[in-house]
Amino acid sequence: MSGSLHPRELVDFCLARINQFDDRLRAWVLVDADGARREADRLGELARRGEWLGPLHGIPIGIKDIVDVRGWPTRAGSPLRGETPAAADAPVVRRLREAGAILLGKTVTTEFACFDPPPTRNPWDLNRTPGGSSSGSAAAVAMEMCMAAIGSQTGGSITRPASFCGVAGLKASHGAVLLAGVVPISPRLDHVGPIGRSALDLAAVWGAIADNREGDALLAAVLEMPLKLAVIESFFMETAADEVRRATREAIDLICGRGKGERFELPPSFADLATMHRRIMAYDAAAYHRAAFEQSPERFGPHVRGLIEFGLAITADQYAEAVAHQRRCRAEFAALLPPGRIAVTPATRTTAPTPETTGDPAFNSPWSYTGLPTVSIPCAVLTDGLPVSLQLIGGPQSEQQLLATAASGEPLLAFHNRPPLLT
């Protein structure tokens, strides 16, 4: 996000991309072209006078359509939400504005940020999914329709679409970005974070939106430590597709030297993690949607409906058991990732599948469950012509360490590929 372009030039470039490609990609549900141009002109005049609002001054950004933006409706991918404009900005949006960002519009989300497939298509292959639920955010960034976008993750909804679309994603520590003004699935699992073209782009947005910056004080000391990359073999490398596994190993060797990665052993609590993650997610989703669901269950998509029905059948004791397991898991994983140690996995099991699914979040949901931060960066294009990414996982509040590691690794990976539509 550097250079000397006038904000109006950047906005016009992004709007031209949207006009050229979005009828095929369907990444946006709302584009405020006039508002973006007016704001670009205002910010350009401020810059001319030597006044800068912050690190995102004049940068066009998309907002996932579960996040409130004053004056725009928050539809959350559902007809149930209606067209009533939001009365106020969500805190994350307010911070973007304060940092000088230009809000282009709302990007497509799957219904209530769950599993029902979106209309959005993958810019690398229009017959593939971009992933979900931050489908439009990842696709729009990949197609240069915006410089960055806000996504959210409860299972794998930042990391997976970023990987499928060949861009970078940051899922911060749980609670590091305020969730007020964001349509929830589960407050215990929900995260908000940026999708960008590089780790440096993620860092610029992160610097604007973060509420919890405890990790900053540790950054200088951490960067002086010998970095330890620890590969998670069990479950992750073992169950990844063969070509994904090979690409991941090659990328790790490029970053830290052949055969020098440590081995990361999963704690015993990992065995029940997926079950307990789904239990918490379903119970909380059912609590939020109960009234609307009891009145009109047929107005919910099949995957959301199934999640709510499952959640309504969970008892309070079963939920309490899952919450206790989550607390134990968080403590165990945090102990395994002290400052200076980063776990590495493939970001996804496969490349992007066909559009009737949003892909498998199994490699991402453990970090939503434990609340640990992750950064994903693209590392290769496989023989099917689709990108894959590395997923870096750190201890609590280690976002800066992860971003610094990703930024130093990107030149070694030399991923400069662009979607075929742009070449």
Do 238 and 365 belong together in one domain?
yes
Active-site residues, by number, are 64, 133, 157
Q: In which band, very low, low, confident or very high, does the pLDDT at 380 lie, cut at 50, 70 and 90?
A: very high
Tracing tokens 């290769």 back to the chain, one arrives at: 380
Residues 6+ apart with CB under 8 A from 417: 166, 378, 381, 387
The alpha carbon of residue 60 and the mean position of all alpha carbons in its chain are separated, in whole angstroms, by 17
Q: Given a cut of 70, is residue 65 above it in pLDDT?
A: yes
Do 186 and 317 belong together in one domain?
no
Indicate the average pLDDT of the chain.
95
Element (DSSP H or E) covering residue 95:
helix 91-98
Q: What are phi and psi of 62, to 5 degrees?
A: -100, 155
Range of the domain at 286: 271-326
Mean pLDDT of 17-41: 99
Tally of structural domains, the chain: 3
Q: Of all residues in the chain, what percent carry a pLDDT higher than 90?
A: 91
User: Which of residues 216, 245, 279 is at a domain's end?
Assistant: 216
Element (DSSP H or E) covering residue 194:
strand 191-196
Q: What pLDDT is recorded for position 219?
A: 46
**Could you report the per-residue pLDDT of 103-153, keeping only the tens digit for each?**
999 999 999 999 999 999 999 999 999 999 999 999 999 999 999 999 999
Element (DSSP H or E) covering residue 390:
strand 387-393
Q: Given a cut of 80, is residue 344 above it in pLDDT?
A: yes
The answer to whether residue 97 sits within a structural domain is yes
Q: Which residue has the higher pLDDT, 100 or 222?
A: 100
**Could you report the per-residue pLDDT of 178-216, keeping only the tens digit for each?**
999 999 999 999 999 999 999 999 999 999 999 855 444
Q: Given a cut of 90, is residue 220 above it in pLDDT?
A: no
Mean pLDDT of 26-39: 99
The answer to whether residue 303 sits within a structural domain is yes
Do 58 and 104 belong together in one domain?
yes
Do 318 and 356 belong together in one domain?
no
- Residue pair 402/375 in contact (Cβ under 8 Å)? The answer is yes
Mean pLDDT of 228-248: 96
Identify whether 133 is preceded by a cis peptide bond (ω within 30 of 0).
yes
Do 398 and 355 belong together in one domain?
yes
Distances (CA, A) of 43 to 30, 31, 203, 340, 400: 22, 19, 21, 39, 28
Which among 143, 103, 105, 106 has a CA at the least distance from the CA of 121?
Answer: 143
The span from the CA of 148 to the CA of 169, in Å, is: 10
Beta strand 341-346 with 262-263 is unpaired
Q: In which band, very low, low, confident or very high, does the pLDDT at 226 lie, cut at 50, 70 and 90?
A: low
Q: What pLDDT is recorded for position 70?
A: 99
Do 382 and 250 belong together in one domain?
yes
Which among 276, 214, 250 has a CA at the least distance from the CA of 344?
Answer: 250
Helices of type H across 191-272: 199-209, 216-224, 238-239, 242-256
9 token code pair:
């030039």
237 token code pair:
């490398």
Q: In which band, very low, low, confident or very high, does the pLDDT at 397 lie, cut at 50, 70 and 90?
A: very high
Q: What pLDDT is recorded for position 78?
A: 98
Mean pLDDT of 379-389: 98
Q: Given a cut of 50, is residue 221 above it in pLDDT?
A: no
